[in-house]
Amino acid sequence: AQTVTQSQPEMSVQEAETVTLSCTYDTSESDYYLFWYKQPPSRQMILVIRQEAYKQQNATENRFSVNFQKAAKSFSLKISDSQLGDAAMYFCAYRSAAAGNKLTFGGGTRVLVKP
């Protein structure tokens, strides 16, 4: 079974600075998708960024970018120019391309942004 590990329970970043969240996963498959979801204190989870495993180019969405290392099974999220609104729980998730639409989530990393 696939597992997703986020080794940092909490990260703190100064406003306008950069923070990187780590995520590793375990799978024997070659075709899959990886996601970062954000859950602000209001609890509505939203998708931040996603990466298809077959794409070598790292995904980027405005201030959010990933470092996808397929061989190392690593998928880190970089938040640049951090803003107060970035404070939230961030979850890394994995979905097999062959196993329907089931998502496996990591334990989450809480990001605190200091003004």
Partner 1 sequence: ETGVTQTPRHLVMGMTNKKSLKCEQHLGHNAMYWYKQSAKKPLELMFVYNFKEQTENNSVPSRFSPECPNSSHLFLHLHTLQPEDSALYLCASSQAGTVDSNEQFFGPGTRLTVL
- Least Å from the CB of residue 29 to partner 1: 14
Residues near partner 1 (CB under 8 A) are: 4, 33, 35, 37, 42-47, 50, 91, 95, 100-108
User: How far is the C-alpha of 30 from the C-alpha of 95, rounded, in Å?
Assistant: 11
Nearer to partner 1, 58 or 96 (CB): 96
* Residue entry with tokens 């996603």: 50
Nearer to partner 1, 16 or 97 (CB): 97
Class of residue 50 by CB neighbours under 10 A (exposed 0-12, middle 13-18, buried 19+): middle
- Least Å from the CB of residue 13 to partner 1: 22
Closest CA to 32 of 91, 60, 73, 61: 73
Nearer to partner 1, 16 or 112 (CB): 112
